[in-house]
Amino acid sequence: MHRITSIVWEPRPWYNVELAKDIALVPYLLHKNHGCEVTLVTGPGEEYTYLKYLEGINFVVLEDSSIESKKEYIRKNIDDIDLFMFYGVTSHDLLMSEYLREIGAKCMKTCALDMNIEYADRLVFYKDPFFSYFDNMDLMWQSDATMTKFLNEKWDWNIECERNGYYNLVKGTSDVEYVPIEDRDNTILYVGRIIEEQKRVKTLLDAFALVSHELPEWKLKLIGPIDPEMFEYLDMFMEYHSEISDRVIIVDNISDKEELHREYERAKIFASTSDMEGGVPNAMTEALCTGCVMAITQIESYKDCIGENEAGLSAPIGDAENFSKILLELCKERDLSKMSKASYNRGKELFNLEKIAGDIYGKLCAGGF
């Protein structure tokens, strides 16, 4: 039996929400579908409400979340580990990879990069410690096709494309039943942090306000934790646009995964005005897998989501006027059902996390796992 360990290398515990993301779900699916023994290592943390859905994995809680405690765990258990899974390229990832080399660890190592072009361009990848980190990996992947191509042209290492996929944690499957467009509400849905930095939520609000008079039957719904700095802006927006305040709905974070999933199934359009993402974010993968038509900005991974506009439309980053035009076009689209089905089929084909984990397992085995 292959033995896999994943540790959050920063001096912190796992966050509960990470148990519902690929950082925990890929190892879990290697256990569930491919018989691997999986251990997630953490320090004392919050209540892990999602842990009950990850049946059969080992969840080890150390005395604290310090780097030294994690090093001690590795030192004591290194002979029982066949694979370490890294997620990202932080200073702590570099430190722990170097530590594995220092103690002569013979296990395989993988890294999910989740990069964007800006971050990749800042890395001095041809010098240590970055060179040694990448050179020490047996398998690396990026979560969108555009950045995978960019990295393979820029770097000497082979980078695979393994997208962030969708997996229904509660139901235990990546398969989603399609809800026809005519059974959905006239809702434009956003799910994520309600914040200006990176997510550019103001652009989305301004875009909807620009065309709301032409879309009297439509509403905009934002779901997610609200950044404290946004409260004043949201109050001003609602006051200034009082005529649509009843059609702009803001809901705090929904931790119940089934309740959140139903929000996707009820919406016709999913909108995102981010200025950057590391690959395809989880909210977009769930939107695709549930058949939401996509209205998104042209981040690196936008074509992974909409293809050649068959599953949605895109606008330049930071351009509320052009984003309002694609919202208007989609909301008035006569054949929105066709685009919805294309989105659903694209999600099923490209973003099924069980298939993605199986592909990773096949590549690991081909590499001597």
Nearest to 109 by CA among 68, 75, 81: 81
Mean pLDDT, all residues of the chain = 95
Task: Find residue 272's DSSP bridge partners.
Answer: 296
Total structural domains in the chain? 2
Q: Does 194 fall in a domain?
A: yes
Task: For residues 95 and 142, state if they share a domain.
Answer: yes
Mean pLDDT to the nearest integer, 306-332: 97
Pair (55, 135) in one structural domain: yes
Tokens of 245: 């305040």
CATH number, domain with residue 222? 3.40.50.2000
**Cis preceding linkage at 316, omega within 30:** no
In this prediction, residue 27 carries a pLDDT of 98
Is the model's pLDDT at 29 over the cut of 90?
yes
The pLDDT value recorded for residue 297 is 97
What pLDDT shows up at residue 34? Answer: 97
pLDDT bin (cut points 50, 70, 90) of residue 352 is: very high
175 lies in a domain? no
pTM: 0.94
* Residue 127 pLDDT > 90: no
CA 368 to chain centre: 28
Does 11 share its domain with 145?
yes
Question: Are 284 and 193 part of one and the same domain?
Answer: yes
Would residue 202 count as lying in a domain?
Answer: yes
Confidence of residue 20 (pLDDT cuts 50, 70, 90): very high
Residues 341, 193 share a domain: yes
pLDDT in tens, 194-203: 999 999 999 9
The answer to whether 127 touches 103, Cβ cutoff 8 Å, is: no
CA angle 186, 187, 188 (to 5 degrees): 130
Position 268 in a domain: yes
Q: Would you state the pLDDT for residue 278? A: 83
The pLDDT of residue 294: 98
- Mean pLDDT (whole number) for 81-104: 93
Same domain (yes/no): 207, 153: no
Q: What is the pLDDT of residue 147?
A: 93
CA pair distance 365, 369, nearest whole angstrom:
5
Q: pLDDT for 232-290, tens place per residue?
A: 999 999 999 999 999 999 999 898 999 999 999 999 999 999 998 988 999 999 999 99
> What pLDDT is recorded for position 62?
96
User: Is the pLDDT confidence value at 118 over 90?
Assistant: no
Identify the bridge partners of residue 273 per DSSP, sorted by sequence position.
none
In this structure, are 333 and 357 located in the same domain?
no
Asked if 321 and 222 sit in the same domain, the reply is yes
Together in a domain, 197 and 241: yes
Q: Are residues 191 and 161 in the same domain?
A: no
Angstrom distance (rounded) from CA 107 to CA 333: 53
CB 143 within 8 A of CB 165: no
- In three-state form (DSSP H/G/I as H, E/B as E, the rest C), the secondary structure along 234-276 is HHHHHHHCHHHHHHEEEECCCCCHHHHHHHHHHEEEEEECCCC
| pLDDT at residue 123 is higher than 90 | no
Tell whether 247 is covered by a domain. yes
d(CA 118, CA 105): 32
Q: What is the pLDDT of residues 190-234, one digit of tens each?
A: 999 999 999 999 999 999 999 999 999 999 999 999 999 999 999
If asked whether residues 107 and 187 sit together in one domain, one would say: no
pLDDT tens per residue across span 40-84: 999 998 899 999 999 999 999 999 999 999 999 999 999 999 999
Task: Identify the pLDDT of residue 172.
Answer: 95
One domain for residues 53 and 12? yes
**Is 174 part of a structural domain of the chain?**
no
The angle formed by the CA atoms of residues 137, 364 and 279, to the nearest 5 degrees, is 65
- Whether residue 176 is contained in a domain is answered as no
**Does residue 291 lie in a domain region?**
yes
For residue 306, the enclosing domain spans 181-350
Q: Is the pLDDT of residue 121 over 90?
A: no
Beta pairing class for 3-7 and 108-112: unpaired
- The answer to whether residues 188 and 209 touch, using CB atoms and an 8 Å cutoff, is no
Query: Which tens digit of pLDDT belongs to each residue from 144-171?
Result: 999 999 999 999 999 999 999 999 999 9
- Contact assessment for residue 62 and residue 70, using Cβ atoms and an 8 Å cutoff: yes
Confidence of residue 114 (pLDDT cuts 50, 70, 90): confident
